[in-house]
Chains A and B, each alone.
Chain A
């Protein structure tokens, strides 16, 4: 699944570690999601959506 996580993170000048801290996951998890190697669960997708203030479909696309 593709996503805009890396772009959204870069727009805010956040490192992967920064984003990981805000989402309460590991940096490795953020990297796995950004690179499309792991699809987040719905609860985590909602956390990401809430953090960036965007609907889920604006961040993730099938």
Chain B
């Protein structure tokens, strides 16, 4: 029989969700600021590494309801955000990608754009995860 660990408090969930959302936004802003693949990749690697370590630490402290919340949030929040992002990208592309030239100002290489797209998708997944996770917790607390 597996041991059941103490769950994290609701406040911890809230703070974690807020931090994750801020990190996602900060990484996007960082990538926009750097505008070059190498520093952007380094930032992404550092953030991803910190993220993985934090996730493992947090996951180890969850009880079964917390882990159920986590699975639910990744499935519906992360998956839902991915679906919405892809739909939005199709609509945006079909509309001729308005304002893109103004935002990028012609300084971006194709590799930058690919990195930005990947990062945007990852950020959307994390934000979806955070939103659904907090919602799940609010309903069942």
**Interface of A with B (CB < 8 Å)?**
23-26, 28-29, 31-33, 37-38, 40-41, 43-44, 46-47
Contact = CB atoms under 8 A, between A and B. Distances in A.
Interface string B126-141: 0000000000010111
Give chain A's interface secondary structure class. Answer: helix
B140 to A, nearest CB: 4
Contacts of B4: 23-25, 43-44, 47
Contacts of A25: 4, 6-7, 63-65
B141 A24 contact: no
Given A29-B7, A44-B4, A24 B63 contact: yes
B87 to A, nearest CB: 31
A38 B9 contact: no
